Amino acid sequence: ILNVEQSPQSLHVQEGDSTNFTCSFPSSNFYALHWYRWETAKSPEALFVMTLNGDEKKKGRISATLNTKEGYSYLYIKGSQPEDSATYLCALHLGDSNYQLIWGAGTKLIIKP
């Protein structure tokens, strides 16, 4: 059974502080890693799709790195704002004929004003 692990499960951060959290996954048969941001009752919003070892992607104050050899990705948020409060989900695409995403349980981020 493949497991995608996210840590921490939840995180409280003071407004203005920077933060980061982790997605760990099996390094064999890797194809791509997706990061999504999800606010309850809304559509999960795609942040990044990362495929290459060493990839770094950035979108505004949010950035992500990827290490496929050791099987982890970090998501960073710089200068957290209240609107960053959401659950951040990572999902793995394997390099076989199976096209489904394998999901972590998410990191719930709460920004305290």
Partner 1 sequence: EAGVTQFPSHSVIEKGQTVTLRCDPISGHDNLYWYRRVMGKEIKFLLHFVKESKQDESGMPNNRFLAERTGGTYSTLKVQPAELEDSGVYFCASSPRSRGLQFFGPGTRLTVL
Which residues form the interface with partner 1 (CB under 8 A)? Answer: 4, 31-32, 34, 36, 41-46, 49, 89, 91, 93, 98-106
Strand 56-59 to 30-38 pairing = unpaired
Least Cβ distance, residue 17 to partner 1 (angstroms): 26
Least Cβ distance, residue 72 to partner 1 (angstroms): 17
Task: Find out whether 83 and 22 touch, Cβ atoms under 8 Å.
Answer: no
Number of other residues whose CB lies within 10 A of the CB of residue 110: 13
Least Cβ distance, residue 49 to partner 1 (angstroms): 5
Least Cβ distance, residue 11 to partner 1 (angstroms): 16
Number of other residues whose CB lies within 10 A of the CB of residue 21: 21
Residue with Cβ nearer partner 1 (70 or 97): 97
CA distances in angstroms from 63 to 27, 35, 88, listed in the order given? 21, 10, 12
